[in-house]
Chain A
Amino acid sequence: MKFSYFPGCSLKGMGGAYETSLIAVMEALSVQLEELDDWNCCGATAYMSVDESKAFTLAARNLAIAEKKTDDLLAPCAACFLVLQKTQKYIKDYPEVGRVVRESLRAGGYDYAGSTRIRHPLDVIVNDIGLDTIKKTVKHPLKGLKIAPYYGCQVVRPYATFDHQDYPVTMDNLLKALGADVVHYPLKTKCCGGSLTGTLPEVGARLSNILIREAKRQGADLITTLCPLCFFNLDSYQDKMEGPEKITMPITYFTQLMGLAFGMPSSKLGLKRHIIPILPILKERQVAIA
């Protein structure tokens, strides 16, 4: 199995732990990742709201480069995943958008027929590789670790390509295959605050803190996510929490937990790149760390 890998800005920056753990886990599963040559910013949601056709063209340049390589494009960041998919869909469904984008790409020496498949690693791991293979690869089951599975909004909405829009379970099943206890988490697709933490911090922080309190109430030891922005919001604003008791909740990427279960050394999993330290709860639950 081989993919073109689109890291986007996050995985090269604050989401570094996501990248290192993803690459390590994929290698263990014999999935080849080849970083997309000369990739550019996906435009994220911000550019879309400023100038749609430029934003589509920006994102489509990545799809055009990937199309030449013919491998499916792996986009781990939830925002990249959504923006690339949206671009793909608009080019296909709205001929006028497609015409403008293709014309603009051609001016830069690119061509896009529209055939690139955009995949999320969670989908690939659970649906292509399969939970049986995952279970076989697990060396240290995450026994006793209580996890709140948090998907955020962008991976399942609006394009529910591989799971239900309101109540996804793909990551729940993956975590169970790793041996962890998955707690009931009713807020699994609710807003983490998104970019509001930057523009209206008091609103953004309140939203992300709601998620943490509920995870605690459901008895979770930690929250796992698949989106760098969710990770950042949840991990960074816990000191802004209001209310009588201060609680802290470690946040992880699902790929870090896979790496732990696969028995990989913590140096490969970015376990020290957390604001809320994760090692204490792992020790407390006696999770083996290689």
Chain B
Amino acid sequence: MTEKKEEIRTGFYICHCGHNIGSVVDCPAVVEYVKGLPGIAVSRDYKYMCSDPGQELIAQDIREQKLNRIVVASCSPLLHEETFRKATSMGGLNPFYFQMVNIREHDSWVHTDKNAATEKAMDMARAAVARVRFHRALEKKKAPIHPDVLIVGAGIAGIHAALTLANAGKKVYLVEREPTIGGHMAMFDKTFPTLDCAACILTPKMSSVKNHPNITMWTYSEVTSVDGYVGNFTIKVRHKPRYIIEDLCVGCMACIDACVFKQKFEDEFNQGLSKRKPVYIPFPQATPQVVVIDPEQCLKLKTGKCKESCAEACDRKAIDFNQKETIEEIKVGTVIISTGFKSFDAKKLPQYGWGIYPNVYTALEIERLVNASGPTGGDVVMRDGKHPKRIGIIHCVGSRDESTNKWCSRVCCMYSLKLAHLLHEHSEAEIYNFYIDMRTPGKSYEEFYDRLLKEGVNFVRGRVAEITDWAMNKDEEDHLVIRVEDTLAGFVRRIPVDMVVLATGLEAREDAQDVRRLFNIGCGGEGFFMERHPKLAPVDTFTEGIFIAGACQGPKDIPDTVAQAGAAAAQCLALIDAGAIELEPNTAFIDEQSCSGCKSCISLCPYTAITFDAVKKKAVINEALCKGCGTCVGACPSSSIIQNLYEDDQIFTEIEEVLAHV
């Protein structure tokens, strides 16, 4: 495949990356070594190859030194392959005559022995210099971008992104697994630090989503399959049966009143602090205002035997016990994943007594308890029916803890302050906060902390050891005792209280790994979805056209979530308005001369990109569908499938040279 007669003139550039590479790899030594390799016309080192002068260096050398191959030894191709391909183009050379060597992640960052690291850099450079001789000029193909957007998860992140895109005139499918949109924010009472009511700022947005002509809102639905690539995704969505015809139901709730059951099932929205019937509406402002029947609880759906008084009560005949799940297929060009978080399960720390002592609550339970539309109408009455006189709020439950989650959940200090204020306001109880460090970075956050200090809330620094009902003396009897080392006072304290609030941390959702696989994106070690770059591409993923926003990427509060949602929407708009995207030319093609038409490749292709030309009796690869996975290349018995950028002589030369040293 190579033009053998062409004289190879390779330019080699090694980047110091400041001290990142330069302090471990002896870059000038590598430059000298490479000068002795065949085909080298230029060999240089530079402090920052990715900078403007660095790129210009390559372009200028191509022009002046008549270079026809470029090798850069620097960081990961994920970060700067595109940068150096562009620099290669700037010099007038086809960008695929370029090869990158990762001597940062693969070498300087993981080794301490300078001599060995330098030798390794030389080995890797030699392999790349040898490989690049066999490179060919390739052309990038363009694929159109479908203008519709899928948003998965309709909490505040999904809602904000959907409205941004819809207001820009784009069609949005907003898919939510729960019967209502709103997510966690809909459960909150007030929001820090301004103490504006969560419902007052969220529910208008929820209703805008429902009424927006550009938004298709699907609740009680889940994405089941994702096919295609950036600009051309085919998505299947499963609509779970609500047993209610959505178009007919007006949310009058007559069916709920009529249901033969007492309110006996745990109300998920109120965190189990109240009960509901099998037919229910999650909360008064639920969007859509449509009831749902739980098939695990409904007598008719479980046993087939019920007098169906709900159906009788519905004068719009909206109840349909025969509803089945349906699958709908849509086409979109871009996707935003905003699936949110899960609250840490307080049962994992039994020393704090949640589930053991009735008057121990999680923060989310308190959000409902102080809420005017919550189970008690905002009256802070405990599970034992009493009103607390003294309340302890324990920070970092399932955060900053080696035995559970190592990370800081970022929102708990602030929401603990907020709950301290609200609990005091609703109950006049004396409030204690137990913290390790107060973390209040954010606009007007520290000021809010200051306000709480002035309001007379007590702050004790120390991680709480345990909550116990063991009374050491009379004062402690019939109380919960918080045992803590007060690290400012320097002694162990036992503080009797009536109510304990656990400031539970934020975790990735249980099925984050399934979602990750479904959309072919990554998760970090702690389970949250991984951004393409922590600073410079915070809402991108490693899959083009799929973006993330909100707490599914990591713990964050509402302002940060909304900012990310806006950013993700803007990234979609940028792709949509560009109209088309360039595709990586790493696809496979068939060498028709040698293809025997055995068809073994066809069934192996995970993307159904290969078909059979019955006339020519040869396999044919659809370049638009091929993802360059290489499965068919490896399987072809006559070696008739070739993959761009991964041709046999390129790979074999690279392997030979990298091992030549051994």
Contact = CB atoms under 8 A, between A and B. Distances in A.
Interface of A: 164, 166-167, 169, 184, 186-187, 214
Nearest to A214: B470
B350 A186 contact: no
Give the contact-size bracket for chain B: under 10
A187 B470 contact: yes
A153 to B, nearest CB: 14
Best-surrounded residue of A164, A167, A186 (most CB of chain B within 10 A) = A186
A214 to B, nearest CB: 6
Contact of B351 (A166, A187, A214): A166
Nearest to A213: B470
B513 interface: no
A185 to B, nearest CB: 9
A167 B470 CA distance: 14
B469 interface: yes
A179 B468 CA distance: 26
List of 7 A-B pairs having minimum Cβ-Cβ separation, nearest first:
A167-B350, A166-B351, A186-B470, A186-B468, A214-B470, A167-B351, A187-B470
B470 A166 contact: no
B556 to A, nearest CB: 31
Contacts of B470: 186-187, 214
Contacts, number: 16
Contacts of A187: 468, 470
Contacts of B468: 186-187
Nearest to B472: A210
B164 to A, nearest CB: 46
B222 interface: no
B466 interface: yes
Interface in B565-604: none
Nearest to A185: B470
B464 to A, nearest CB: 12
Interface of B: 350-351, 356, 466, 468-470
Best-surrounded residue of B468, B469, B470 (most CB of chain A within 10 A) = B470
Nearest to B468: A186
Contacts of A169: 350
Nearest to B465: A166
Nearest to A211: B470
B346 to A, nearest CB: 12
B430 to A, nearest CB: 23
Nearest to A160: B403
Chain B interface, >50% SS class: mixed
A184 B469 CA distance: 10
16 contacts: A164-B350, A166-B350, A166-B351, A166-B466, A167-B350, A167-B351, A167-B356, A169-B350, A184-B356, A184-B469, A186-B468, A186-B469, A186-B470, A187-B468, A187-B470, A214-B470
Contacts of B350: 164, 166-167, 169
A186 B468 CA distance: 6
A238 to B, nearest CB: 19
Contacts of B469: 184, 186
Contacts of A164: 350
A167 B466 CA distance: 10
Contacts of B351: 166-167
Nearest to B470: A186
A186 B351 CA distance: 9
A167 B349 CA distance: 8
Contacts of B466: 166
A44 to B, nearest CB: 26
Contacts of A167: 350-351, 356
A187 B468 CA distance: 8
A115 B107 CA distance: 36
A108 B55 CA distance: 69
A2 to B, nearest CB: 34
B359 to A, nearest CB: 14
Contacts of A184: 356, 469
A166 B348 CA distance: 11
A223 to B, nearest CB: 14
A226 to B, nearest CB: 19
Nearest to A167: B350
Nearest to B481: A186
A214 B468 CA distance: 12
A176 to B, nearest CB: 16
Given A164-B350, A166-B351, 13 more contacts: A166-B350, A166-B466, A167-B350, A167-B351, A167-B356, A169-B350, A184-B356, A184-B469, A186-B468, A186-B469, A186-B470, A187-B468, A187-B470
A214 B351 CA distance: 17
A179 to B, nearest CB: 22
A214 B473 CA distance: 12
A214 B481 CA distance: 14
A169 B355 CA distance: 14
Nearest to A168: B350
A118 to B, nearest CB: 22
A187 B470 CA distance: 7
A186 B352 CA distance: 11
B394 to A, nearest CB: 14
A166 B347 CA distance: 12
A164 to B, nearest CB: 6
Contacts of A166: 350-351, 466
B397 to A, nearest CB: 13
Contacts of B356: 167, 184
A214 B469 CA distance: 10
A166 B356 CA distance: 13
A214 B472 CA distance: 10
A186 B469 CA distance: 7
A186 B466 CA distance: 10
A210 to B, nearest CB: 8
A208 B356 CA distance: 24
A196 to B, nearest CB: 18
A161 to B, nearest CB: 14
A75 B555 CA distance: 44
A235 B350 CA distance: 28
A172 B243 CA distance: 43
A166 B351 CA distance: 6
A289 B466 CA distance: 39
A205 to B, nearest CB: 17
A190 to B, nearest CB: 8
Contacts of A186: 468-470
B369 to A, nearest CB: 24
A15 to B, nearest CB: 27
A143 to B, nearest CB: 24
Nearest to B403: A165
A36 to B, nearest CB: 33
A135 B39 CA distance: 80
A152 to B, nearest CB: 16
A214 B470 CA distance: 7
A274 B306 CA distance: 61
Nearest to B350: A167
A166 B483 CA distance: 13
A222 B468 CA distance: 21
A184 B351 CA distance: 13
A169 B351 CA distance: 12
A254 B473 CA distance: 30
A176 B468 CA distance: 22
A91 to B, nearest CB: 23
A169 to B, nearest CB: 8
A169 B356 CA distance: 12
B470 to A, nearest CB: 4
A164 B347 CA distance: 11
Nearest to B467: A186
Nearest to A166: B351
A184 B350 CA distance: 13
